[in-house]
Amino acid sequence: MSNIIRIVLSSFLLIGTVALFWFGHWGWGILGILITILAWVTVFFNENMLIAQWYLRKENMGKAEQWLRNIKNYEKQLISAQHGYYHMLLGILESQRAPLQSEKYFKKALSLGLHMSHNIALAKLSLAGVAMAKRNKREAEKLLAEAKKADKNKLLADQIKMMKNQMGLMDKQQFRYSR
């Protein structure tokens, strides 16, 4: 459903809710407010992405992918602020199957723009993991530093520390094999 239809529908719901209050139907008016809020939320947040995020939190990758695939043309179905998040969700799903293939999604998400600092940190941390897998230590260190800087609330501090430890182990292995 396009956003214009959602806005028109939400506006009619708001007018109907005001009319319910006007005529003294307070119970139905309160229910109307809840439905109107839900309709307005779907203008700014696509329901397919919300449900996919819920399934990602439940670690049900199959269902999350199914809901994301319902978005056929993301440029028309989503507002521009959601384009980066759509690609980030695709990157998270792809990283479960083929980690090296997820790089393009995370780069696209960063180029389209992510507004929350912890999401930027997650995308950069994921890219650092891909760079590490490709044995590109310099790029991985740079991305880890950027992820640490973007992680203002320290939500990913443990993962960043663990990846730094893995890079240290990688250095020891290279040193051992080079002898």
pLDDT digits (tens, 9 = 90+) for 123-179: 999 999 999 888 888 999 999 999 999 989 888 889 989 988 888 877 666 655 555
User: Do both 28 and 51 map to the same domain?
Assistant: no
User: Do both 59 and 37 map to the same domain?
Assistant: no
Asked whether residue 92 carries a pLDDT value surpassing 90, the answer given is: yes
Quote the DSSP letter at residue 170: H
Burial class (CB in 10 A: 0-12, 13-18, 19+), 169: exposed
User: Do both 128 and 170 map to the same domain?
Assistant: yes
DSSP string, 83-102: HHHHHHHHHHHHHHH-GGGG
Closest-CA residue to 125 (of 83, 74, 163, 72)? 163
Give, in degrees to the nearest 5, the angle at Cα 142 between 140 and 145: 105
User: Do both 110 and 133 map to the same domain?
Assistant: yes
Burial class (CB in 10 A: 0-12, 13-18, 19+), 151: buried
Residues 6+ apart with CB under 8 A from 28: 20
User: Do both 39 and 65 map to the same domain?
Assistant: no
User: Do both 147 and 166 map to the same domain?
Assistant: yes
Asked whether residue 77 carries a pLDDT value surpassing 60, the answer given is: yes
Confidence (pLDDT) at 80? 86
User: Do both 34 and 54 map to the same domain?
Assistant: no
Over residues 71-94, mean pLDDT: 90
User: Do both 10 and 64 map to the same domain?
Assistant: no
Over residues 75-100, mean pLDDT: 90
Confidence (pLDDT) at 176? 57
The CATH number of residue 81's host domain is 1.25.40.10
User: Do both 24 and 90 map to the same domain?
Assistant: no
Domain count along the chain: 2
Structure tokens at 56: 């990602």
User: Do both 15 and 72 map to the same domain?
Assistant: no
Closest-CA residue to 53 (of 62, 64, 43)? 64
User: Do both 100 and 124 map to the same domain?
Assistant: yes
How many C-beta atoms surround the C-beta of residue 37 within 10 A?
Answer: 13
Query: Whole domain around residue 94: which residue ranges?
Result: 46-178
User: Do both 119 and 163 map to the same domain?
Assistant: yes
Tell me the per-residue pLDDT of 13-47, one tens digit each, with 9 for 90 and over. Answer: 999 999 999 999 999 999 999 999 998 888 888 88
At 1, the pLDDT band (50, 70, 90 cuts) reads low
